Structure formats: C-alpha cells, structure tokens
Amino acid sequence: LANVHSHAFQRLLRGEVESGAGDFWEWRNRMYRFTEWDAADYFNHARLVFREMLEAGITAVGEFHYLHARGNELGVALIDAAREEGIRITLIDACYLRGGLDGRPLEAEQISFSDGDADSWARRMDELNEADGVRIGAAIHSVRAVDPESMRIVATWAREHKAPLHIHLAEQPAEVEECLRVEGCTPAELLEREGILGPDLTAVHAIHLTPHDISLLGDNEVSVCACTTTERDLGDRVGPMTALADAGCALTVGSDSNAVIDMIEEVRGLELDQRRATGRRVLHEPEELFIAATFNGMRALGWDAGELRAGMLADFITLDRSPQWRKLTPAYLIYGFSGNDVTNVVVGGETVVGK
C-alpha cells in the first residue's frame, strides 16, 4: 500500500484539536504549535509514525516536508527514521515562500518554512541524497505560498532530476477566490499557464474545482491524491474524484495529517464520500480503488511497485482471513478489511512486520 501524502509531525494533533468549534484556518493556527523540533526528537517521533504505517500495511510513504528551520536536518531525520523502520520514503520537500497570493509576507509561525527564495530552496535540495529505499521529490506547497516564477523554478528542478512533483491544490474556497482576484484564474488554470501541469505532478486534495479545471488536470494526466480521513476531520468538503478519474487523472490516497493511518479506510472513504455527494452507488469499481491504493500511489512517489509481477519491487502484505468466511476479493478487501487485519509486511523482499 502507498501513502502518497503525509505530514508526520501532525500525528501529534490526534485527539488534541477535537474540542471547540472552528474551520480549517483555525485548525491550521493550532497546528503551528507543533512545528518546532530538534533532529533527534523528530527522528524518534517519525520512527513511531512510520512503524504505525508499516503495521497498517503501508510500504511506501510520501512525506510532504516543509519544516526548514534547521535546513535539511529534519528532512534527513525523516529519511533516517524511514530507513531504520524499513519503510520506503519519498521525501517531498516543499518550497514555501509567501503568506498569500497577494504577496503578503509570511506569518511569524511560517517563517521557518521558507528558504527565502526558490533558488535557495533548489540549492538546499541539491544537498539531499537518494539511497536504497529513499527518493527525493519536490513540492510547490500551494499557489498561496509560492509565486509563479518560483513555481517554474521548482518544476524545472523536479523535471531535471526526474523527481516526483506535488502540490496542495484547491483545498479551500478561500484559495480559489484569492487566485481569481489576484491572478484572474483558478489555481489549476494558473498551473496550466505556468507550465506546471503534467503526468509527473500529483495534486493533493483538488476539491474546489471547476469543470474546466477538471478537464485541464485530466488532459495533462495529473495524478490526484484524496486524503479522505483528514478532509473529513477538517471539514474540507468532498472533491470531484469520480469526474477527475473520468477525465483521465490517476487517483491515489494519503493519510495527510495522520488523524487516521489506514490506506484501506482512505480508499474506501474515497468511494463512500462520492456516494454521499452524488446519491449514487459504485462510482468506482473495487479494482479501481485497489489500484489507487497500490500501483497509482507508488507511481506518484516514483517507485516501480504496487504490482506482483517480474521486474517490480517485492513489496507486499498478507491479511488475516479469520473469521474464515472472509473472501480475498477486491470488493471484500476494500469493504471488509482494515489496516488492523494486516499480518505481515514485506518491503524489498524483507519482512519488516510479522504478527
């Protein structure tokens, strides 16, 4: 199973932000309290998060990383933690430069996320090294946080290094409204204008889209990552995942804030949320959902995995079939199992979890 979008540090918020009213932006302000770490503490924390992922059957994680107060120290801590636990990691290091599309400065809590400019971000990226089980990816944090010229620098770096490229896209209506006001177009249209869209790009969330946005993403074969448990937790609404898939986007899933770590629940939620949004059943066949959680996700993270066939990485899991009437069909897997049913996890031919 592939976890395409994770923020390991946000695992600490689980159970800590569930009282009092609010919206995404108020949640974000509370989240900022958990962004200061030293490398040793972050290494130990990330090990626990990655172990929880492995025990839920996740063999590869995309860690969307923007905690840059110590340069690459915390990114390296994430890599070291993943290697220690035996999970594949794609460190998706995010460029984060401004407080909004109007160019306003970063808030005090955001300053440590920034390298100052995209060229400095790229120089720091050049210091990160891939290794066995480690890939380096790039991210434009969002159209809010990165200006168009800097977006192009990030995309160029990713494409020159044949690295995965990710972005938070249209998670909140406020982002879309500000983009229309400042740039005269939607966030997806801005990415098209700047040459960012392409099959190497994964758009995370992609919730507040117009029909034209959906066509643009599909025509450019952009992958889309739904983070259904986090999106429910934050009140993010339901994105047009079925329309995106029909347009040509490959669907993937991620645990995002790690309020829940269970890719089977994420991909099941993708379908069930579409049912509630549309009043229809079976918008996505079980086989499609299984591919979203495996092959599509691995491809979005830059790994040749997600299928059991010659030439692919030997990553796989086994499941507990008790009670014995459980069936090992795609439909039963998606709707009858959870991450708690994982019994063994194999990464690169090595057993890393055995229950």
Which among 27, 285, 23 has a CA at the least distance from the CA of 270? 285
Res. 322 pLDDT band, cuts 50 70 90: confident
Res. 26 pLDDT band, cuts 50 70 90: confident
| Residue 324, pLDDT above cutoff 70 | no
pLDDT tens for 170-203 read 999 999 999 999 999 999 999 999 999 999 999 9
| Residue 110, pLDDT above cutoff 90 | yes
pLDDT tens for 206-227 read 999 999 999 999 999 999 999 9
| Residue 34, pLDDT above cutoff 90 | no
Amino acid at 47: R
pLDDT tens for 113-142 read 999 999 999 999 999 999 999 999 999 999
Element holding 93 (H helix, E strand): strand 88-95
What pLDDT does residue 27 have? 77
| Residue 314, pLDDT above cutoff 80 | yes
Res. 15 pLDDT band, cuts 50 70 90: confident
Separation CA 127–CA 119 (nearest Å): 13
| Residue 53, pLDDT above cutoff 80 | yes
What pLDDT does residue 5 have? 98
What pLDDT does residue 323 have? 72
Separation CA 188–CA 211 (nearest Å): 11
Which among 194, 186, 108, 181 has a CA at the least distance from the CA of 147? 194
What pLDDT does residue 105 have? 97
What pLDDT does residue 108 have? 94
Res. 159 pLDDT band, cuts 50 70 90: very high
Separation CA 344–CA 355 (nearest Å): 6
| Residue 21, pLDDT above cutoff 70 | no
Domains of the chain: 2-354 (3.20.20.140)
Separation CA 116–CA 218 (nearest Å): 33
